[in-house]
Amino acid sequence: MQKLAILGGEPVKKTPLPDWPYYDDTERQALQEVLESRVWWRTPGTRTLQFEQEFAAFQQASYGVAVTNGTAALEVSLAALGIGAGDEVIVPDFTFVATASAVLFTGALPVLVDVTPDTYCIDPDQVEAAITPATKAIIAVHMGGHPADLDRLTEIARKNGVYLLEDSAHAHGSEWRGRKIGAIGDIGTFSFQASKLMTAGEGGMIVTNSKELERLIRSVHDCGRMPGEWFYSHFIYGSNYRLSEWQGAVLSQQLRRFPQQTATRTRNAAYLDAELAKIEGITPQRLDPRVTANGHYAYIFHYNKTAFAGVPTKRFIEALNAEGFPTQASYPPLHDLALFKNGEYRKRLAPEAAQAQHAFMRSGFPNTLRGAWETVWLPQPTLLGSEEDMALAVEAVKKIKAQASEL
Ligand SMILES: Cc1ncc(COP(=O)(O)O)c(C=O)c1O
């Protein structure tokens, strides 16, 4: 067997993986049309409006409101729900910081709870245990594209009279029991940042089936304006979260080829699931049988170092990268971020809440720690590679395992 690439041998994958972002002449033409129309601004424009309708229909939601990014989508949604000082919102400890920082932005307290050990999505039992009279909402994150348990979460939300928000930044096109995610809860938010499944560099979307929520979301995202009213009348709290016409035009084109890309990612992920699971010490993210489609923002697998001669996750990742397979970092646990550890988050809270003990800061979060430090993430553009590329990815893991004692 060839020497490990990290030790000076030949890499398993010698040619580049697919470039990302993907574009072709349709994006070029759409941008040219916006340019020449001189309508670059959302307000009089039609491109972003059209994309809102296309994307909402694609996600099987009644309404879509495009915003500047996925973080803004969460902030606008929480503001539209009237969440603020004194309220609590339950969020997973294992996610990008935006899921929790958007809650702090409103002045409410993000209550961190653990995820499940195999899907890495918010654990419904932990959610149930964290509900208090101050709870106003639950934010589920569909980790890596895999939907959280929406059966249990909708039931818990309904029973307790709280909102369910789906942070779907990773999960364009994902389905739960045959239904697209996003508007299964009260509101769903998406990101079109550069690494996401569809992108305009930055961008976000909010979907809902509620006409009243759509009215409020649209108003918050446009300075508190209301449709049909004078331009300088502002009725509720709002800010400027509007997406430009350039981005709307590009995203319409990205959406057009998205189903075909999803089919490729799904085929390749299924192959990796089957082949990587045969390697002792590698456990792919569990696919819940109720998940009927997974957008696959990333291909996530658990790495057990004891099956790899004790080689730490970080060193395994370096070796895999050297073999020609890039990875993206997993998220650190939120409770370990300086924002929480140093108590900085308290500065966003109302005085009483700021001084209170927050029990979640004393929790262990074992499954989040497992997700944060023991998983390996292949980024979604890798899943657009060929069948041969997938076989080489499996070969690279086997090669590292066979020579793990050298590392
Ligand atoms: C789970 C999750 N939520 C929210 C966001 C925020 O999206 P954006 O980067 O577009 O603000 C991200 C982006 O990385 C994310 O991964």
CA angle 105, 108, 112 (to 5 degrees): 100
User: Residue 372: its pLDDT value, please?
Assistant: 98
Q: Please tell me the distance between residue 192's alpha carbon and the centre of ligand 1 in angstroms.
A: 9
State in Å: Cα 224 to ligand 1 middle.
24
Q: What angle do CA 338, 317, 391 make, to 5 degrees?
A: 140
Going by alpha carbons, the residue nearest to atom 16 of ligand 1 is: 96
Distance CA 161, CA 295 (A): 30
Q: Is 401 a catalytic residue?
A: no
- Identify the pLDDT of residue 1: 75
Which pLDDT score, from 0 to 100, does residue 69 have? 98
Which residues line ligand 1 at a C-beta cut-off of 6 Å?
69-71, 95-96, 98-99, 141, 167, 169-170, 191, 193, 204
Residue 74 CA: nearest ligand 1 atom is 4
Q: Is 193 a catalytic residue?
A: yes
Measured between alpha carbons, how far is 316 from 323 in angstroms, rounded to an integer? 11
96 catalytic, yes or no?
Answer: yes
- Which tens digit of pLDDT belongs to each residue from 264-321? 999 999 999 999 999 999 999 999 999 999 999 999 999 999 999 999 999 999 999 9
Distance, in Å, from the CA atom of 172 to the CA atom of 190, rounded to the nearest integer, reads 7
Catalytic (active site) residue 299: no
Show the domains of the chain with their CATH numbers. 25-254 (3.40.640.10)
| Residues in CB range of 399: below 8 A, 6 or more apart | 1, 2, 4, 12, 323
Say how far residue 244 (Cα) sits from the centre of its chain.
22
> What averages of pLDDT result for each successive group of 10 residues across the chain (407 residues)?
95 97 98 98 97 98 98 98 98 98 98 98 98 98 98 98 98 98 98 98 98 98 96 97 98 98 98 98 98 98 98 98 98 98 97 95 95 98 98 98 97
Vertex 19 angle, CA 377 and 278, to 5°: 35
